[in-house]
């Protein structure tokens, strides 16, 4: 019985020591998992556009901290397929709690960025054009109408100064979807 009590005491002390150290990794884990899931969601939107022969539009909303995916029929009627909610003021039911749609002001754009925009949390456009949009459409042929990227970070409490927890998901005009992470000020493909 004494051995059991000593073992429990040791495990409790080790748990108390380890818990704060794990808090450092939690924001990075959340953002990384969200970027993987969002990349898959974009690939799924592309596949739906091809398989249903209907355009699929994704609208990125900074203010509402959401992404709305819609299918657009031949008559122009949009049907919501999915809504992804990010953490907004402790929102209940967030798809990705602890993660926001946004970026650090100091972060550059990842390689092959069509817009080079360094301020928007979602920036899509066509090369050579000055206009930037927060909406992208996958066409029935599998291509996208624009290329660009969107950015996600941990909620404000966990953003570090060099942005190492920032992730970008990029869509190219060919419909290809890629993920990047910001590491020491430089973007690395994942």
CATH number at residue 172: 3.55.40.10
- Tens digit of pLDDT for each residue in 105-126? 777 788 888 777 777 788 888 7
- Tens digit of pLDDT for each residue in 157-172? 555 555 678 888 999 9
Residues 6+ apart with CB under 8 A from 110: 149, 168, 170, 180, 187
For residue 109, what is the DSSP state? P
Query: In total, how many domains does the chain have?
Result: 1
Structural domain containing residue 167: 2-189
Sign of CA dihedral 90, 136, 153, 95: positive
* Neighbouring C-alpha atoms within 13 Å toward the C-beta of 148: 31
Mean pLDDT of the chain, nearest integer: 85
Tell if the pTM clears 0.75, that is, is over it. Answer: yes
Kind and range of the H or E run holding 40: helix 2-52
Which phi and psi angles does 150 have, rounded to 5°? -130, 160
């Amino acid at each position: 019985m004494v051995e059991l009590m000593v073992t429990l005491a040791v495990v409790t002390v080790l748990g108390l020591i380890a818990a704060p150290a794990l808090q450092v990794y939690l924001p990075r884990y959340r953002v990384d998992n969200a970027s993987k899931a969002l990349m898959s969601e974009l690939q799924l939107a592309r596949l739906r556009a091809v398989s249903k022969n209907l355009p699929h539009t994704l609208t990125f909303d900074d203010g509402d901290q959401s992404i709305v995916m819609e299918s657009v029929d031949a008559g122009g009627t949009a049907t919501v397929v999915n809504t992804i909610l990010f953490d907004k003021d402790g929102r209940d039911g967030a798809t990705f709690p602890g993660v926001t749609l946004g970026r650090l002001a100091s972060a550059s754009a990842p390689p092959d960025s069509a817009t080079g925009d360094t301020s928007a949390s979602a920036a899509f456009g066509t090369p050579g054009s000055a206009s930037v949009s927060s909406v992208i459409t996958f066409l029935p042929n599998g291509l996208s109408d624009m290329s660009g990227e969107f950015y996600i970070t941990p909620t404000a409490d966990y953003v570090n100064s060099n942005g190492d927890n920032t992730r970008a998901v990029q869509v190219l005009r060919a419909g290809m979807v890629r993920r990047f992470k910001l590491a020491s000020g430089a973007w690395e493909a994942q």
